Structure 1
Amino acid sequence: MSESFSLADTLAVSDLQVYLSRAGRVEDGSVRLIAGSGVLAAYTAILYPRSLLDHIPTVLGLRTFVTDRATVFDAVVPTRSLLDRLARAADVPPGQDGEPEPIGIRLPLQVSTVTWAGITPPRGGWRKVGQTTALVLQRAAAEGIAEVAAAIPREAGEQLVQRVRGEVWGKPMPELEYVVAGAGFAAHSLGFVVEPDEIVTVHETGPWTRLTMRRGHVLVKRAAWSLRG
């Protein structure tokens, strides 16, 4: 397994930094990196159940980057450690001819206790089932954030917080049947929705739904009891 990967230039490094920084504000934990066939897929967890009794949906963010075709690995690493390495890589000066060169980043030490990383979204087999707009996701995020804030007391315990978040983010969006509001929260939190009229395509395979935007993807694993499951 490769212990490092390369990104095309400092712009790609900056894009990955911004993505991971946004994800870290929601879940300051780990990122799953899967490299192969010249693509680096970076998965981050926005929402996921912490126990068998937790009904919060599994919602992941995904950004992809071009990397060396010979690089192959599947690793879960601490987000902060990777951000530190990206910051150092961004300071590397360009080549002698002034042209941008691929930037190598060494993987931090892996972690093995991340529960959501054991859930692997499929790479293929997706079929388009509909579309919506970024405005729908933005509205779901704004309404859900306000509802969560109003329902959780200042000194609330973790169990209550998780229950409220599960109830709010597990509700379907009225305009987008079978897609939970947590998908809108993820798209908003990761900076994937900026222009309200942007078209967002909806894809499905098995128990997974994918929302695809120009800036990235949101993946939702439907609960086992779902009518679409």
Structure 2
Amino acid sequence: MTVRQRLVFADPKEAAGLEAFLRRLLRWEKAAAVRIQSGGGVVGFFAKPARFEVLAVRTARLLEPADTDVTVSAGELLEGVDESAEAVTVPEAVTGPPWAGMLPPRGGWEPFGEVPADAVRAVAAAAVGEFRERAEQLGQPERTREKLDALAEEIWSRPLGRTQLPLRAVHAAHALGFLAGEGTLKLLRTGSWLRLRTPSGSVVVRGGETNTGLSVTPV
């Protein structure tokens, strides 16, 4: 019988945060996968939400060091979350999707700006509202998947203010519940990667890449 690895978090509410993240991820894709990487006393959970061309990341400190690198089913990982013990049991590995082999670098991140959380929420809400309004203005014959995808690409490819971070990163952070709370959110970069870091998790995207497959159902 295979003994499954159990990761115990060092800080309270980490298990609840992971559970909330996984539930939102599974809303977008029932067959979502998560890559887990841990080294020393830190673990990272990486996922690519369906319809978003970004990577979402949650990190946490561990009570005891662990060495883990595996891709698993998000649904099975959710079943392994134990809030009372502040722990999660790692399920059996699955064949990972292509994105799981191209994670952003662990180090080398440099800050290049900060943005107020409430301002980012306002930008996300305004963009979602614009998409819905313009989609509704299309006549029924014109409201094709092609036109809705083009509209989504136009909106979510815009930069956040004067930064290079595309709004699709903000949209994903909003959809995954990363924009709750007050304070400031940090913008970081390394090489061609850009990152929006919040207390609940990060959204990472390659700068300057063309977006495809954007969500046409904003939340």
Matching residue within 18, 23, 29 for 1:16: 18
Equivalent residue for 2:131? Answer: 148
Deviates more, 1:136-145 or 1:176-185: 136-145
Matching residue within 94, 117, 139 for 2:122: 139
Give secondary structure in 2 for the equivalent of 1:64.
Answer: strand
**What are the ranges of 5 or more consecutive residues in structure 2 without an aligned counterpart?**
211-219
Distance 1:145 1:73, change over 3 A: same
Equivalent residue for 1:177? Answer: 163
Paired with 1:41 and 1:71, the residues of 2 have a C-alpha distance of: 11
Equivalent residue for 1:52? Answer: none
Give secondary structure in 1 for the equivalent of 2:119.
Answer: helix
Is 1:190 aligned to 2:176, yes or no?
yes
Give secondary structure in 2 for the equivalent of 1:144.
Answer: helix
Shift of 1:139: 2.1
Instruction: State the Cα deviation string for residues 62-121 of structure 1 (Å, max 9, x = none).
Output: 1112236542222221111111222xx346xxxxxxxxx664513233223x13222211
Paired with 1:39 and 1:77, the residues of 2 have a C-alpha distance of: 18
Paired with 2:178 and 2:146, the residues of 1 have a C-alpha distance of: 29
Matching residue within 55, 59, 62 for 1:60: 55
Amino acid across the alignment from 2:99: W
Query: Number of aligned pairs?
Result: 202
Paired-residue identity, %: 25
Give secondary structure in 2 for the equivalent of 1:204.
Answer: strand
Give secondary structure in 2 for the equivalent of 1:178.
Answer: coil
Shift of 1:158: 5.8
Give secondary structure in 2 for the equivalent of 1:121.
Answer: coil
Equivalent residue for 2:152? Answer: 165
Any residues of structure 2 matched to 1:72-151 within 5 Å, and which? 72-86=67-81, 89-90=82-83, 103=87, 105-112=89-96, 114-149=97-132, 150-151=134-135
Shift of 1:127: 0.9
Amino acid across the alignment from 2:5: S
Shift of 1:219: 1.2
The 8 Å contact of residues 137 and 185 in structure 1, kept in 2 or not, is answered as: no
The 8 Å contact of residues 114 and 186 in structure 2, kept in 1 or not, is answered as: yes
Distance 1:21 1:45, change over 3 A: same
Give secondary structure in 1 for the equivalent of 2:106.
Answer: coil
Distance 1:148 1:77, change over 3 A: farther
The 8 Å contact of residues 17 and 200 in structure 2, kept in 1 or not, is answered as: no
Paired with 1:147 and 1:119, the residues of 2 have a C-alpha distance of: 33
The 8 Å contact of residues 44 and 60 in structure 1, kept in 2 or not, is answered as: yes
Distance 1:122 1:143, change over 3 A: same
The 8 Å contact of residues 77 and 88 in structure 2, kept in 1 or not, is answered as: no
Distance 1:84 1:183, change over 3 A: same
Paired with 2:119 and 2:75, the residues of 1 have a C-alpha distance of: 31
The 8 Å contact of residues 121 and 174 in structure 2, kept in 1 or not, is answered as: yes
Paired with 1:47 and 1:172, the residues of 2 have a C-alpha distance of: 21
**What are the ranges of 5 or more consecutive residues in structure 1 without an aligned counterpart?**
49-55, 92-100
Cα root mean square deviation, aligned:
2.9
Equivalent residue for 2:217? Answer: none
Shift of 1:157: 6.5
The 8 Å contact of residues 47 and 60 in structure 1, kept in 2 or not, is answered as: no
Paired with 1:63 and 1:224, the residues of 2 have a C-alpha distance of: 23
Deviates more, 1:116-125 or 1:163-172: 163-172
Distance 1:102 1:217, change over 3 A: closer
